[in-house]
Amino acid sequence: MFKSITKESATDKKAAQKYNSIAWMINHGIAPNLLMLLLIVGGLVMSFIIRKEYMPDVTLDRVGIVINYPGASPDEIESAIALPIEAIITPLEGIKEVKTIIRTGRLFIRAELEGSDNAQKIFQDVQQAITRINTFPTEMDKPRIFLASKVRDVMEIVVHGDLDAIGIKRLSEEIRDRILQSVDISKVTLHGTAKEEIHIDISQHMLNSLQTDLSTIAKKISLLTKEQSTGTIKSNSGNILVKVDERLLWADEFAQLSIMPDKNGGALQLKDVAKITEGFADSKSMITFDGQLAASLRIYRVGEQSPDKIGKAIEAMWPELEALLPPTAGLTIIDDDAKNYQKRLSLLLKNAFFGLLLVLFFMSLFLDFRLAFWVVAGIPSAFLGAILFLPSFGISINMVSMFGFIIALGIVVDDAIIAGENIYTHMQEGMPFSSAAQLGAQEVAKPLTFAILTNIIAFIPLLFLPGFMKLMFGAIPVVVILCFVISWLEALFILPAHLARINQKTTKTPGNNILSKSAYYFSFAMQKAQQNFDKALESFIQHPYLSVLKKCLSWPALTLSIASLILLWVLGYAFSGKMGFSLMPKMEGRWVKASIVLPEDFTLMQMNKVKDKLESNAKEMLSKNEIEQAVISIRSEIFENTLEVGLLLVDSEEREISSVDIKSLWREQSKLLGKQSLNNLGKLRFGSARKNSNSQIEASITLELRHNDTNVLSNAAIAAQNYLQSDQQSGQYITSITNSMEQGNPQWSLTLNENGQSLGFNGSDVAKQLRSSLYGARVTRQHRGQNEVTVLVRLPLRERQSSGDIENLLISTGDGGFVPLNEIANISKTYSPATIKRYKNQRIEQLYIEVEDETKTPQVNDFIHQQLTLRLTRQFAGLKVSMSGDQKEIAQSVSKLELGTLFALTGIYILLAIAFKSYLQPLLIMAIIPFGAVGAILGHLLLGFGLSIVSLMGMLALAGVVINDSLIMVEYANKQVTQGHKPKQAIINAGMRRFRPILLTTLTTFGGLAPMVFETSRQAQFIVPMAVSLGFGILFTTFICLLVLPCLYLITSEYNDIKA
């Protein structure tokens, strides 16, 4: 009826003594020690060499394209540049998807690749494809095409002071150059400063008097300031390179340039007709730090560089950097991965250490202390052995990979426990230790191998997570699988050899020296404690457990019904959405940010006023709630028409209030700004960011609308916003909805009238003159030191800042005459979107939906999927509605996990079917798996966690772990049946015999995870849910395995008897 993996018989015991690999290792003695030494020493050496970083690299493989087209509207850039590029690169092999963002004067295209194997080839294909486009506007800058580099910023330093923009930039460059002198630092970038320009401002009156225009003067200056090679002179002494060098670098040099003769026959210098100044590009860009003008330096890790080395290099040169500062300036480190790495490393090592102590403690209660010691000694071998092979898989030592070791901590000893406990049993029967080690290891070799394989299969699907999740958590399955494989080697080939050589003689008297006495009394105390616990455990097994088990087996259907009700109730509660669901548990942030998109026509001065109001509002909030000590400083940034104010918080362990609570308090305080009319300018978005200052605010839900017609998109976005806010259920959870295209630019469309046409104008001439007047006629673009400097000839700001100035702008007729623009052209005044986003060759509009309580996000999602999408697609033909951001990642990850779960369950079933030579018994063993999810969900509820993809990853990994207990239970029951016992008595005997190893593996697994499960540090919360899923899943399934599984075994055996 039931078939067993092993048969305990005299024949098998004799066969077990045959010479094989296990027996060879036990008898050899030296080989197992050498193998253990190789794993330990090799792992230790590799631990000094392997790359170390704070977090894994999550940069997706992509090709980026950046194009500047100064002064051009988003509409113009879309039609003239974006559409041709999208059309030519989208069909290229290896391109997964193309996303485009267009702003005034700038285009950014991101082409994500399907894989990294042919990244360089795809990059070259994109370069060649764009080179073939010959319809680009002539005024457009050369495209900058790059392959996203695998570098990570590890530190950010803010340079701030009471200096002007040029002073801050020069100081920041000097500090950057000093940092780059370090041999441990290869890349530093400067942010927050505009591009340098030399402005040559000529008034319209002067142009009239000179009877010329801006473009003509720009061409003259360009010809007079050329640097050009003329060739090589081949002389007797060698070749001589000859060049004409009239290049000018500074505004003062341009001022002295003679551009034309004056009326008296002399030379007319440029300073006589124009105002020449050093300046910056006309862009609204500024960073302030605690009210002072600032710039930021981001330091990157390149190749095998580590955050720790970079941190030490900066620390060593810090006095030199401070010496470069003027009295009114300062330096502040606002992000330091080196310190973050050390703090998190200490946190994880602390948890690993206490987990190891708990494992040793539990094992010492169940087993002889010497046996427990050798079992636990296998953990360093497994961990260091795994480190030895990690670089082969491209894995570094970081917070995620180290968490993988903590997950493995309690699980890897299961192999050694099964082998060691079986060997220990034969030792207690009086067998010689060497024979007991050999027989005990061989008896469990086959079930142990299948148990390891099921564990591995359960973790394999985590390798196939999509995109960001794979890059973030892909190290965990690699680490755990390596630990499993090495622990299998240790349990079967190293541990038995060590146990075979345990001293069989018990010392009856203490030695003479202190060390001997201490060892004697410690050994005596441990043996006494173990014996007392063993008696208590045996008493518990023989009375309470046996009594309860018999009652469950007397009413197997009722027991199964109660278990099924618990299963359905817990899973139903989880699927109801009441626990919430997110991509990842919210990590505690160092930043709380408020962001607002202001009207495009706002000047930098106007945006500064809004910034001041928002900063004052934040300070009022901090003072009102008496939490000023939780904030280090306030950093504000203006970029184009977006304003962001960020509060830099002290480390999470040094403050009592969380970033989420500070965000809620600030959102409440910001309602007072409505009285100051700030809310009428745009909608405030609040969020928290974990790491550096440039981290973007992530919306709770990002809804993406796609359509070819901009008007349809705009109307659909308004309708979606109204539907969401008016819904009684979902609307109450939404705090704000922001539209990515709410703010538009005033746009003038010009067409030549009859007068313009009669004067011989054409559209190209007028556009060129307008561009020169508004943006400037470019003289040259050249490098001055490390900076690229553009020289522009343009009208003074006072002559081009109002609509009246533009309408009355004088256009040259080409023969020395001028005519106002409004006399030769009809002007149509409309609005153009400030930003255009495109995806899959269509315009998109995004709605950023903020949900105050993240646990309510599923309810809002349900409304979007079940009602909103249907309404919008019916109302607007051709509209496509989809999720973006975290919700898109969730959908993709859940889909992959569902497929992975199916793969894992199928693989586990096949392995068990092979092992048990049965189609039915694998299902019996696997019936325990759903109850692991029940335990995981109950653990989340108990500790106050919402569900996330990380929680599901833990549940999936749990599948392979929990069946180990049911496997050894069923395997022993089968063995009892083959020896002539009835199924009921067989499963009772199995429960009593396997109670000890099942309880021990449960306690060691949970003990290894317990410090992480109950970790209160906010920084550990993003990985705790996986530990909760594994830990509580193991606990709950232990009860199921010991009480419910026997009932299911009995029912299936009775069914087989009836069938027979």
- 3-state SS of 483-549 is HHHHHHHHHHHHHHHHHCCCCCCCCCCCCCCHHHHHHHHHHHHHHHHHHHHHHHHHHHHHHHHHHHH
| pLDDT at position 744 | 61
Write down the architecture of domain 10-49+367-503+555-583+891-1059 according to CATH.
Up-down Bundle (1.20)
Q: How far apart are CA 291 and CA 118, in angstroms?
A: 48
Q: Contact, 134 vs 270, CB < 8 A?
A: no
- Which residues have a Cβ under 8 Å from the Cβ of 653 and sit 6 or more positions away? 343, 1017, 1018, 1019
Dump pLDDT digits (tens) for 709-725: 888 888 888 888 888 88
Domain 60-148 has what CATH class? alpha beta
* Domain positions in the chain: 10-49+367-503+555-583+891-1059, 60-148
Average pLDDT over residues 411-437: 79
Q: Which residues pair with 851 in a beta bridge?
A: 734
The whole-number pLDDT of residue 130 equals 93
Res 625: pLDDT: 92
Query: CA nearest 928: which of 976, 974, 960, 972?
Result: 960
Question: pLDDT at position 175, please?
Answer: 94
Do the beta carbons of residue 222 and residue 790 sit within 8 Å? no
Banded model confidence at residue 297, pLDDT cuts 50, 70, 90 = very high
* Of 447-451, 492-496, 1043-1047, highest mean pLDDT: 1043-1047
Question: Could you tell me whether strands 95-103 and 835-839 are parallel, antiparallel, or unpaired per DSSP bridges?
Answer: antiparallel
Q: What is the pLDDT of residue 931?
A: 92
CA dist., res. 395 & res. 324, Å (int): 40
CA–CA dist 307, 184 (Å, integer): 10
| Position 482 confidence tier, pLDDT thresholds 50, 70, 90 | very high
Under the banding of pLDDT at 50, 70 and 90, the label for residue 8 is very low
- The residue that leads in pLDDT, 948 or 986, is 986
Percent of the chain at pLDDT exceeding 70: 90
Q: Tokens 């069989």 sit at which residue?
A: 504
Average pLDDT for residues 294-319, to the nearest whole number? 87
Q: Is 851 helix (H, G, I), strand (E, B) or coil?
A: strand
CA-to-CA distance for 1003 and 820, rounded, in angstroms?
88
Using an 8 Å Cβ cutoff, are 747 and 833 in contact?
no
Answer yes or no: are the C-beta atoms of 845 and 728 closer than 8 Å.
no
pLDDT at 863: 83
Least confident of 609-623, 670-684, 745-759: 670-684
Q: What pLDDT is stored for residue 1019 in this prediction? A: 63
Region 469-497: what's the mean pLDDT? Answer: 86
Mean pLDDT, to the nearest integer, of 247-275? 85
> How many residues in the chain?
1060
Q: Which residue has the tokens 């340079």?
A: 159
Three-state DSSP at 194 gives coil
Q: Compute the distance between CA of residue 1030 and CA of residue 296 in angstroms, rounded to an integer.
A: 42
pLDDT-derived band at 681 (thresholds 50, 70, 90) equals low
Please tell me the distance from the alpha carbon of residue 244 to that of residue 231, in angstroms, as a whole number.
10
How confident is the model over 983-1014, as pLDDT tens digits?
Answer: 899 999 989 988 888 888 888 888 888 888 88
Concatenated DSSP letters of 556-598: HHHHHHHHHHHHHHHHHHHHTTTT-EESSPPPPPSEEEEEEEP
Residue 242 backbone dihedrals phi, psi, to 5 degrees = -120, 135
Q: What is the mean pLDDT of residues 136-147?
A: 88
Say which residue, 405 or 348, is predicted with more confidence. Answer: 405
**Over residues 1026-1045, mean pLDDT:** 90
Confidence band, pLDDT 50/70/90 cuts, at residue 12: very low
Per DSSP (E only), the strands in 576-680 are 581-582, 591-597, 631-639, 642-649
What's the confidence (pLDDT) of residue 518?
64
pLDDT at 108: 93
Least confidently predicted of 33-47, 357-371, 647-661, 756-770: 357-371
3-state secondary structure of 58: coil
Mean pLDDT estimate for the chain: 82
On whether the CB atoms of residues 111 and 63 are closer than 8 A, the answer is: yes
pLDDT at 505 exceeding the cut of 50:
no
**Element of type H or E holding 751:** strand 744-752
Confidence of residue 523 (pLDDT cuts 50, 70, 90): low
Using the predicted structure, report yes or no on whether residue 617 has a pLDDT greater than 70: yes
Query: What pLDDT, on a 0 to 100 scale, did the predictor assign at position 6?
Result: 40
* Greater model confidence, 275 or 368: 275
Exposure letters 578-589 (e unless 16+ CB within 10 A, then b)? ebbbbbbbbbbb
Characterize 990-1012 residue by residue with b for buried, 16 or more Cβ atoms within 10 angstroms of its Cβ, and e for exposed: bbbbbbbbbbbbbbbbbbbbbbb
Choice among 102-116, 607-621, 739-753, 959-973 with the minimum mean pLDDT: 739-753
Assess whether pLDDT exceeds 60 at residue 230.
Answer: yes
Alpha-carbon distances of 679 from 672, 682, 732, 746, rounded to whole Å: 9, 6, 20, 21
Give me the mean pLDDT over the 921-934 stretch: 89
CB 402 within 8 A of CB 390: no
For residue 434, the model assigns a pLDDT of 81
Decide which of 258 and 20 is more confident.
258
Inform me whether the pLDDT recorded for 237 exceeds 90.
Answer: no
pLDDT at position 356 is 79
Q: From 696, 714, 652, select the one nearest 884 (Cα to Cα).
A: 696
Q: Amino acid identity, residue 593?
A: K
Q: Pairing state of beta strands 144-147 and 62-68?
A: antiparallel
Contact 277/268 with Cβ under 8 angstroms? no
The DSSP bridge pattern shows strands 591-597 and 285-289 to be unpaired
pTM metric for this prediction: 0.76
pLDDT in tens, 780-836: 888 888 888 989 998 888 888 777 888 888 888 877 778 888 888 888 877 777 788
